Amino acid sequence: MLKFLFGSKNDRYLKKLEPIIAQINDLEPQMQALSDEDFPAKINQWKDEVQNQGRDLDDLLPECFALVREAGRRAMGMRHYDVQLIGGMVLHQGKISEMKTGEGKTLVATLAVVLNALSCKGVHVVTVNDYLAKRDAEWMGQLYGFLGLTVGVIVHGLSDEERKAAYASDITYGTNNEFGFDYLRDNMKFYKEQLVQRELNYAIVDEVDSILIDEARTPLIISGAADSASGLYQRINGLVPSLKMSTPRDPEDKDTPPDGDFELDEKGKTITLTDAGVEKCEELLGIDNLFDPQHISLQHHILQALKAHHCFHLDVDYMVTEGQVVLVDEFTGRPMPGRRLSEGLHQAIEAKEGVKVESENQTLASITFQNYFRMYEKLAGMTGTADTESVEFNQIYGLEVIVIPTHKDMIRKDHPDAIFKSQQEKYNAIALDIQDCYKRGQPVLVGTVSIEKSELISRMLKKLKVPHNVLNAKHHENEAQIVAEAGEKQKVTIATNMAGRGTDIKLGEGVKELGGLHILGTERHESRRIDNQLRGRSGRQGDPGSSRFYLALDDDLMRLFGSDRLKGIMERLGMEEGQAIENKMVSGAIEKSQTRVENHHFEIRKQLLEYDDVMNQQRHAIYELRRDLMSAESMDGIVEEYAEDLFEEILSPALAEKNLDDETKAAVRLRLEEVFDFGRYEGFRNSDELPGLDQAMAWTKDILKVLEASAPGHYQEILRYFLLESLDRNWKEHLLNMDHLRDGIGLRGYGQKDPKQEYKREGFELFQEMIYTIKETAMRAFCHLRIEAEVKEEEFQHETNEDVEYQDSESSRRKQTTVRRDAPKVGRNDPCPCGSGKKYKKCCGK
């Protein structure tokens, strides 16, 4: 009643746009008077006004739309209809335009695309496959080119250079997969010059329902074999029995040398290799120098393997259940399935216990489409079918759905469902219906939910000698071609849901008279939206057409929801063998059950998203940190800050304690030595006390100075490299841990606790631990790094070095090829040039 009096919200919204349409129409003669050259000139002028004079895009909309319309007419012979202008405005406002198939969404997008391209921050048009990206970019490229705007296409198989160029264009077409993967890949790069994407400014997602709803459950994942394949864990594990533990020494005792290959500090759960141990490992592994940067991971694995054997005990610290190493909570003694030790320690224990080492093919980066697209400054979408999912679009993406009226009235006749008792009766009727269309010459498009069903119908048609095409969404380009011809006389096309998506079907000669394209659905989909997509292929732009769905009581959907009641109704109606019924009540009941399934799926997606939100926040934080590290001019401030954070963690609590016992003191000193290599300072070596914070900071700065002096001109890059390396390695580990946490959280008995909250809490703890480890790993690298005299400059040279300004190309070439050799080359067994009297490999060479 209210709707009748005031019109729906949708109507009111459309009404508000009317005056703007009138404005655009009024501008038409003015635009028609322009010469072709005036078009790019106007665009450039507007670009300048938007960028430099702060002119508002909304303010420019009528003029810009009028210009695009005229450009469309001149460049492509297509003048945007008024309803298309409405669609364009809806897109510009960051909403979803629901426009029926054949209404010309490809052309509609150009309006919002051009207007938003004026801000010069990039506009992305997202399609469901490469074929459509290419087709639309080329097709609409005529219009863009006429306006002097550049268009790029991102498809599978491009190089980074090509991608970068495409993203630098005013307008970029591409698939959701490519955009998403480029984002993830960018966040694995080491130099900002290698980034291909610009900021995520504005995206128009075509077929927005299939991308944001149908594909919402499968995230994009970049995975790779972990650098430390399981083989390495096993190999290193094999060394452990050969390594002998030193007799524990009194911490006071500095004179007795350790008598084994490694020393164990039980309390701090730390292990250090002795000189003898290092030599033994080198020998066993057949390598020359364990401390060579290329063996950094071997070193790490050896220590972890030793820890696994000597600090972690079966059925105390962990248990092995069903081939998995499950940690045991040290306080409660409860198993903690899903929790994993980081830094390869868990894998080392797995190798020790001879169970499967979980590290092959791990996730390096992942994101869901929801979360990728939510990052855009402004997001818009178009599709023929969004209205049934408008609640979800609104709740999850804040996207409002506006239903745009069709250009011409829709006259397709949608017949009520035909319902049969069994599959066999249903398929017989389908085959006969198709045969009938074929005989009369009316084209028919048969929609199935699976390839098997398509093949079943195909076999039946072969028997009836009805020629037909079968499509299954595997060959986008060919299928688009076949679907485009599906409206010709006598054509029979069988297609799964996705096949030929995005291509519209024009009617052939004389087909209108035969009733247009007939759509035949072989069962109802769980979601009404998918059914509407199929129907929408017929009746485009005021064409005649018809549709009918065939159902059977034993269809999946019918069985799952309310088939007993249906059966009752049907029996009461006195249904006979082979006979179909058409009944409003039954169709209504089916729609109701579809709505129920839709809601159920929405809940599942919402749940998933809530879990994913935790990861999403962490990913944001890490990627932001990464970008900061990548783009910082100088790393000095960051590194000092990290050192302070580490001291805050390691040193401050001990310093704050009044009665510090010797054991704790020794443990803290050991940590300082391990991480910061303070042992190189006499002031540290010759004391049992803890250094003050100022002293610790002063030493750290000194160590960094020494490093800087040993690699002039490359110091900043070295810092950056190790920080990013540490971040990536630990983040990768963390992703794995989060996966395991999530898998395990459901298994744990949480009593009254909400698993989602638990996941959030523990996820946050793991994240904090990881951030700490990133700092520690990097600091450890800085303080233990010795740049050997013969290190070639190229090793730290990056591809496009912008922060070094070369005078001319000649000197730049010289600079890059000169091998720095400011110290004599020293052999590993030579006496160390520092004058310590030790062998080089045991002193500075270490």
Q: Which of 42, 47, 80, 501 binds ligand ADP (CB under 6 A)?
A: 80
User: Nearer to ligand ADP by C-beta: 323 or 542?
Assistant: 542
Q: Which of 10, 97, 101, 493 binds ligand ADP (CB under 6 A)?
A: 101
Name the token pair of 547: 């549709």
User: Nearer to ligand ADP by C-beta: 68 or 690?
Assistant: 68
Interatomic CA distance for residues 181 and 177, integer angstroms: 6
Based on the shown chain and the rule CB under 6 A, indicate whether residue 105 belongs to the binding site for ligand ADP: yes
End-to-end CA distance of the chain: 85
Interatomic CA distance for residues 558 and 586, integer angstroms: 11
Q: Which of 14, 24, 107, 646 binds ligand ADP (CB under 6 A)?
A: 107
Please check whether residue 132 is in contact with residue 504, taking contact to mean a CB–CB distance below 8 angstroms. no
Of 342, 246, 345, the residue nearest 304 (C-alpha): 345
**Piece of 76-84, 493-501, 643-651, 728-736 that binds ligand ADP (CB under 6 A):** 76-84
User: Nearer to ligand ADP by C-beta: 140 or 325?
Assistant: 140
- Answer left, alpha or beta for residue 179, where phi above 0 means left and psi between -120 and 50 means alpha: alpha
Based on the shown chain and the rule CB under 6 A, indicate whether residue 102 belongs to the binding site for ligand ADP: yes
| CB of 506 vs ligand ADP, minimal distance in Å | 7
Based on the shown chain and the rule CB under 6 A, indicate whether residue 410 belongs to the binding site for ligand ADP: no
Residues in region 525-564 near ligand ADP by CB under 6 A = none
Q: Partners of 496 in the beta sheet?
A: 448
| CB of 450 vs ligand ADP, minimal distance in Å | 24
Q: Write the CB contacts of 197 (distance below 8 Å, at least 6 apart in sequence).
A: 167, 182, 183, 186
User: Nearer to ligand ADP by C-beta: 486 or 703?
Assistant: 486
Name the token pair of 40: 């790019």
Interatomic CA distance for residues 189 and 587, integer angstroms: 55
What is the residue whose two structure tokens read 């959280």? Answer: 745
Q: Write the CB contacts of 510 (distance below 8 Å, at least 6 apart in sequence).
A: 441, 489
Site string for ligand ADP, 608-637 (x = CB under 6 A): ------------------------------
Q: Write the CB contacts of 436 (distance below 8 Å, at least 6 apart in sequence).
A: none
**Piece of 73-81, 225-233, 607-615, 687-695 that binds ligand ADP (CB under 6 A):** 73-81
| CB of 412 vs ligand ADP, minimal distance in Å | 14
> How many distinct helices (H) and strands (E) make up the chain?
31, 21
Q: Which of 55, 79, 134, 489 binds ligand ADP (CB under 6 A)?
A: 79
| CB of 123 vs ligand ADP, minimal distance in Å | 17
User: Nearer to ligand ADP by C-beta: 78 or 240?
Assistant: 78
Based on the shown chain and the rule CB under 6 A, indicate whether residue 21 belongs to the binding site for ligand ADP: no
The residue count of the chain comes to 846
* Interface with ligand ADP: number of residues (CB under 6 A): 14
User: Nearer to ligand ADP by C-beta: 24 or 50?
Assistant: 24
User: Nearer to ligand ADP by C-beta: 81 or 642?
Assistant: 81
Please check whether residue 423 is in contact with residue 471, taking contact to mean a CB–CB distance below 8 angstroms. no
User: Nearer to ligand ADP by C-beta: 99 or 290?
Assistant: 99
DSSP states of 541-576: GG--EEEEEEEETTSHHHHHSSHHHHHHHHHHTT--
| CB of 376 vs ligand ADP, minimal distance in Å | 21
Name the token pair of 351: 């190798």
**Piece of 47-55, 94-102, 443-451, 600-608 that binds ligand ADP (CB under 6 A):** 94-102
Q: Which of 130, 504, 543, 733 binds ligand ADP (CB under 6 A)?
A: 504
Task: Find the helix or strand (DSSP H, E) in which 529 lies.
Answer: helix 528-535
Taking the CA atoms of residue 75, residue 79, residue 85 and residue 90 in that order, the dihedral angle to the nearest 10 degrees is -50
| CB of 537 vs ligand ADP, minimal distance in Å | 9
Residues in region 350-389 near ligand ADP by CB under 6 A = none
Q: Which of 86, 89, 92, 106 binds ligand ADP (CB under 6 A)?
A: 106
Question: Dihedral of CA 408/409/412/414: which sign?
Answer: positive
User: Nearer to ligand ADP by C-beta: 350 or 504?
Assistant: 504
| CB of 77 vs ligand ADP, minimal distance in Å | 7
Of 677, 729, 682, the residue nearest 704 (C-alpha): 677
| CB of 543 vs ligand ADP, minimal distance in Å | 11
| CB of 491 vs ligand ADP, minimal distance in Å | 18
Q: Which of 78, 120, 319, 660 binds ligand ADP (CB under 6 A)?
A: 78
Based on the shown chain and the rule CB under 6 A, indicate whether residue 501 belongs to the binding site for ligand ADP: no
SS3 264: strand
Interatomic CA distance for residues 262 and 243, integer angstroms: 7
Local structure of residue 838 (DSSP, 8 states): S
| CB of 490 vs ligand ADP, minimal distance in Å | 22
**Piece of 72-80, 450-458, 620-628, 672-680 that binds ligand ADP (CB under 6 A):** 72-80
User: Nearer to ligand ADP by C-beta: 491 or 619?
Assistant: 491
**Piece of 80-88, 228-236, 249-257, 637-645 that binds ligand ADP (CB under 6 A):** 80-88
CA 523 from chain center: how many Å?
Answer: 34
CB atoms within 10 A of CB 288: 10
Of 702, 704, 676, the residue nearest 690 (C-alpha): 676
Based on the shown chain and the rule CB under 6 A, indicate whether residue 493 belongs to the binding site for ligand ADP: no
Q: Which of 14, 31, 91, 99 binds ligand ADP (CB under 6 A)?
A: 99
Based on the shown chain and the rule CB under 6 A, indicate whether residue 104 belongs to the binding site for ligand ADP: yes
DSSP states of 428-483: HHHHHHHHHHHHHT--EEEEESSHHHHHHHHHHHHHTT---EEE-SS-HHHHHHHH
User: Nearer to ligand ADP by C-beta: 264 or 445?
Assistant: 445
Q: Which of 65, 81, 233, 684 binds ligand ADP (CB under 6 A)?
A: 81
| CB of 101 vs ligand ADP, minimal distance in Å | 4
**Which residue is nearest to ligand ADP, using beta carbons?**
104
User: Nearer to ligand ADP by C-beta: 205 or 349?
Assistant: 205
DSSP states of 178-228: HHHHHHHHHTT-SSGGG-------EEEEETHHIIIIITTTS-EEEEE--SS
Greatest extent of the chain over all pairs of C-alpha atoms, in Å: 106
User: Nearer to ligand ADP by C-beta: 142 or 469?
Assistant: 142
Name the token pair of 440: 């009369």
| CB of 536 vs ligand ADP, minimal distance in Å | 8
Of 713, 698, 724, the residue nearest 638 (C-alpha): 724
Interatomic CA distance for residues 66 and 44, integer angstroms: 16
Strand boundaries in 340-377, DSSP class E: 362-367
Site string for ligand ADP, 667-696 (x = CB under 6 A): ------------------------------
**Piece of 74-82, 317-325, 680-688, 720-728 that binds ligand ADP (CB under 6 A):** 74-82
Please check whether residue 243 is in contact with residue 306, taking contact to mean a CB–CB distance below 8 angstroms. yes
CA 451 from chain center: how many Å?
Answer: 29
Which spans of this chain sit near ligand ADP (rule: CB under 6 A)?
Answer: 78-81, 84, 99, 101-107, 504
